[in-house]
């Protein structure tokens, strides 16, 4: 197990190097540099342009810039944002809990609905229920997130008034200093009556929007995996032994069907963390997705490079954890069989 763990960690090194290079090159391929995007209608004298480029090291050959960036990273320094002058790591740590909290609730929503739905659809294969659920899953999978978010805001929040429009808490009613960065936990710690429920209330729409695609994927995957398992001999044996249908499905079939579903959940977790950009923008959710988009438009090289590296680290770690979990569930993987 330990050897497998180290092998898996070693395998992430080339991924990091490739990421470092790709982010570094990609942002430089976008026209305009951090100095140019600051220039308004006034223009800037060539001397000032040259001075700022020199200060930021942008006048050095690109390979030298890359090497100094790698050197910085090796020293654990993710750099300083050019627009806010804050440490990239500090900014990331301030914003990441919001993304993590949203992703967690979105995943819970996807799992709590996706798993049972997939199981029921498999058990009632070919029924109207199955067909309706799978059609909905296809719609959910292909849902344009931006449109879906705005539709829910307009209908659920504005017309029906059932949820708040956006944000993480009622800004007029509640105010407390962030402690953990997780609004639900901070609301509990604040001791302000109603704050926790209000934070949960604010999570409903964004979690539904962000969780829609994973919900569809998990439901479909659970269904197909269950169908495969349900036709296995051991399930037939369990049924022949006279076990209750609930026990056959819940204990014998589902446990085995979960194996590929765990992988999908792992992949979806990575996708949630990395892909919350649109949801965060629509719901004014102060997470890392929006921060990275802003960094691109400001050509904030350090924030973007550092941010991508940090998000990638989390995504890679999640993948490693899923791999380890998978290895624990299915020992054949550990032994390379």
CB of 275 to other proteins, least distance (A): 17
CB of 251 to other proteins, least distance (A): 45
> Could you say whether residue 150 binds other proteins (CB under 8 A)?
yes
Q: For other proteins, give the closer residue by CB, 165 or 189.
A: 165
Q: For other proteins, give the closer residue by CB, 164 or 214.
A: 164
Q: Binding pattern to other proteins, positions 262-281, x when CB under 8 A? A: -------------------x
Binding region for other proteins (CB under 8 A) out of 2-10, 64-72, 162-170, 233-241:
162-170
Contact 100, 310 (CB under 8 A): no
Q: Residue holding tokens 């390979």? A: 63
> Could you say whether residue 294 binds other proteins (CB under 8 A)?
yes
HEC string of 136-164?
Answer: HHHHHHCCCHHHHHHHHHHHHHHHCCCCC
CB of 189 to other proteins, least distance (A): 16
CB atoms within 10 A of CB 333: 14
> Could you say whether residue 31 binds other proteins (CB under 8 A)?
yes
One of 69, 117, 122, 168 touching other proteins (CB under 8 A): 168
Q: For other proteins, give the closer residue by CB, 105 or 283.
A: 283
- Give CA–CA dist 310/288, Å, rounded: 10
CB of 149 to other proteins, least distance (A): 9
Q: Pick from 164, 122, 130, 159: which is nearest to 250 by CA?
A: 122
- Give CA–CA dist 67/73, Å, rounded: 10
Residue 330 to residues 126, 176, 337, Cα–Cα distance (Å): 31, 46, 10
> Could you say whether residue 178 binds other proteins (CB under 8 A)?
yes
One of 78, 148, 291, 301 touching other proteins (CB under 8 A): 291
Residue 157 to residues 131, 166, 210, Cα–Cα distance (Å): 30, 9, 16
Q: For other proteins, give the closer residue by CB, 202 or 252.
A: 202
Q: For other proteins, give the closer residue by CB, 157 or 325.
A: 157
Residue 229 to residues 75, 77, 223, 251, 254, Cα–Cα distance (Å): 50, 49, 10, 12, 8
Q: Residue holding tokens 């995957």? A: 221
- Give CA–CA dist 103/98, Å, rounded: 9
CB of 326 to other proteins, least distance (A): 35
Binding region for other proteins (CB under 8 A) out of 154-162, 212-220, 255-263, 322-330:
154-162
Contact 155, 228 (CB under 8 A): no
Which residues are at the interface with other proteins (CB under 8 A)?
31-32, 36-46, 48, 52, 82-86, 91, 94-95, 98, 150, 153-154, 157-158, 161, 164-168, 171-172, 175, 177-178, 281-287, 290-291, 294
């Amino acid at each position: 197990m330990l050897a497998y763990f180290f092998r898996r960690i070693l395998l992430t090194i080339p991924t990091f190097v490739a990421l470092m290079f790709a982010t570094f090159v990609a942002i430089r391929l976008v026209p305009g540099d951090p100095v140019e995007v600051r220039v308004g209608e006034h223009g800037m004298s060539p001397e000032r342009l040259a001075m700022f480029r020199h200060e930021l090291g942008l006048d050095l050959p690109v390979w030298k810039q890359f090497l100094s960036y790698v050197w910085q990273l090796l020293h654990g320094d993710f750099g300083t944002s050019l627009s806010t002058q804050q440490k990239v790591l500090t900014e990331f740590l301030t914003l990441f809990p919001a993304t993590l909290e949203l992703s967690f609730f979105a995943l819970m929503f996807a799992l709590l609905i996706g798993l049972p739905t997939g199981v029921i659809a498999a058990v009632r294969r070919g029924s109207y229920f199955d067909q309706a659920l799978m059609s909905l899953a296809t719609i959910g999978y292909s849902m344009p997130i931006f449109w879906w978010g705005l539709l829910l805001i307009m209908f659920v929040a504005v017309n029906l008034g059932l949820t708040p429009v956006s944000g993480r808490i009622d800004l007029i009613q509640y105010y407390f200093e962030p402690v953990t960065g997780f609004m639900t936990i901070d609301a509990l710690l604040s001791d302000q009556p109603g704050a926790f429920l209000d934070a949960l209330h604010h999570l409903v729409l964004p979690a539904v929007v962000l969780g829609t695609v994973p919900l569809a994927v998990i439901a479909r995957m659970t269904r197909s995996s269950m169908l495969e398992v349900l036709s296995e001999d051991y399930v037939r044996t369990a049924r022949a032994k006279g076990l209750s249908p609930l026990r056959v499905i819940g204990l014998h079939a589902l446990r085995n069907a979960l194996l590929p579903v765990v992988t999908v959940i792992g992949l979806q977790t990575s996708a949630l963390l990395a892909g919350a950009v649109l949801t965060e923008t629509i719901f004014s959710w102060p997470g890392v997705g929006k921060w990275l988009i802003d960094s691109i438009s400001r050509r904030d090289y350090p924030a973007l490079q550092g941010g991508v590296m940090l998000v990638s680290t989390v995504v890679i770690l999640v993948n490693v954890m899923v791999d380890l979990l998978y290895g624990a569930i299915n020992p054949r993987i550990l032994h390379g069989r």
